[in-house]
Amino acid sequence: MVTLGFLATIAVGTILLSLPIATEGARATFVEALFTATSATCVTGLVVTDTAVFWSGFGEAVIAVLIQIGGLGVMTLASLLGILLTRRLDLSSRLVAAASTRSVGLGDVRGVLTRVIKIAVVVEGICAVILVARFAITYDMPWGTALWQGAFHAISAYNNAGFSLFSDSLMGFVGDPWVSLPISFAVIVGGIGLPVIAEVARALRARRRPRRWSTHTRITLWMTAVLLVGSTLFFLAAEGDNTATMASLSPGDKILSAFTQAVMPRTAGFNSLDTSQMHHETWLGTIILMFIGAGSAGTAGGIKVTTFAVLGVVIWSELRGEPDANIFDRRIAPATQRQALTVALLGVAIIIVPTLWITATTPGISVAEILFEVTSAFTTTGLSTGITADLPWFNQLALVPLMFVGRLGPITLGAALALRSRQRLYRMPESAPIIG
């Protein structure tokens, strides 16, 4: 049901973006409409046209709606609509809503759905208000234009979509904290995930110490902090002397731009520096950050920080010869370890195969650029070295299922693995193949 819901949304979006009213000039081709609708619904941000120039106000509104639907989840909105119309959810709808929001208990599904909307409205509202005021007062935009720009970018930021109505994304605001920081804040909150946000809110009201928070919440928050600090330092070191990106900025602007760039590989897709002019080692570091992604049950993609942390703990425990993988005074269940390994290895395979195909069929574009683009599509990030529009139409179409699998695959796979766990009444004889 979740898969069909997203497919139906993409189909409707493709039809709407194919209409003459959706563009400023020539009518969008099928590939342009399908690619944009998929990128918006899967909150990716990759584009084959200049969003600010190619699409009309109607087209931009369609993209914003698709982003909101894709970020919150098709089944989340469908379930809320069902509650409004019938004031109840049947068992099958509760099961699907629980799976799509990663809420295992059925009793709190309605409360979870309500919190999803409340958090989205609050975060997007705060971000939009700051952006509207900044655009209107500092950049002399008409208030109507500023209102649309602020609302669009707030929706795009919270849902980790990365679509921008500026042709150069956030490069024109590289030194403006009143634009970069609100957008970064919305990206971080959207990427952390509802379970963490809800638990932290309850813990703060109950004045419960962080040591008593759940393992999932502690892993997510710790990994988020470590990745943000580490990647900020990484961008400062890698791009600080690059005359095409950061070298000419003041020390304060360098720190701000490095932090903004550190936030965006969490699968947001905005860029305040020219990605195409970055060093190759910066591309490699960004690819790793995109692959890791952000928190589970949020609007971000990637394999998720919890998956990455679990794999790290398992490796460290194996190297030390410990029988169990422990973190924060808790033992990680063997089923969780298998799930993390499965999601990570499938992610690697899904990235490698299209990279080989596009490299073989698109001469003249480096492997590094293609790997960056494919990883960005699968992790629903949207950062680009600028080659998306230059790819042949059939390779642009090859990125479409990548974005779809990236938005649904890891989530659906993780839920399926967790809910399909079962006990057998027998065990096979043990064997120990040589490893390594």
pTM of the model: 0.87
Q: Answer for the pair 42, 70: CB distance below 8 angstroms, yes or no.
A: yes
8 A C-beta contact, residue 128 and residue 150: yes
DSSP 151-193: HHHHHHHHTT----SSTTTTGGGTT-HHHHHHHHHHHHHHHH-
User: Quick check: 345 and 291 in contact, CB under 8 A?
Assistant: no
Task: From first to last of the 436 residues of the chain, give the pLDDT tens digit.
Answer: 677 778 889 999 999 999 999 999 889 999 999 999 999 998 899 999 999 999 999 999 999 999 998 887 755 655 455 554 445 555 555 555 555 555 545 455 566 667 778 888 899 999 999 999 999 999 999 999 999 999 999 999 998 898 999 999 999 999 999 999 999 999 999 888 777 887 888 788 877 888 888 888 899 999 999 999 999 999 999 999 999 999 999 999 999 999 999 999 988 889 999 999 999 999 999 999 999 988 876 677 888 899 999 999 999 998 888 888 888 888 888 888 888 888 899 899 999 999 999 999 998 899 999 999 999 999 989 999 989 988 999 999 999 999 988 887 655 655 555 555 566 788 778 776 766 6
Q: Quick one: CA torsion of 17, 21, 23, 29, rounded to 10 degrees?
A: 50
Cβ neighbors of 286 (< 8 A, separation 6 or more) are: 265, 275, 278, 372, 383
Sign of the CA dihedral running 308, 67, 264, 157: negative
Residue 333: phi and psi, rounded to 5, are: -65, 140
Buried/exposed code over 376-393 (b: 16+ C-beta within 10 A; e: otherwise) = bbbbbbbbbbebbeebee
**How far is the C-alpha of 272 from the C-alpha of 292, rounded, in Å?**
21
H helix or E strand, kind and range, residue 136: helix 109-137
CA separation for the pair 224, 407 (Å, rounded): 20
> Is residue 264 a contact partner of residue 162, using CB atoms and an 8 Å limit?
yes
Q: Which of 148, 138, 145 is nearest to 173 (CA)?
A: 138
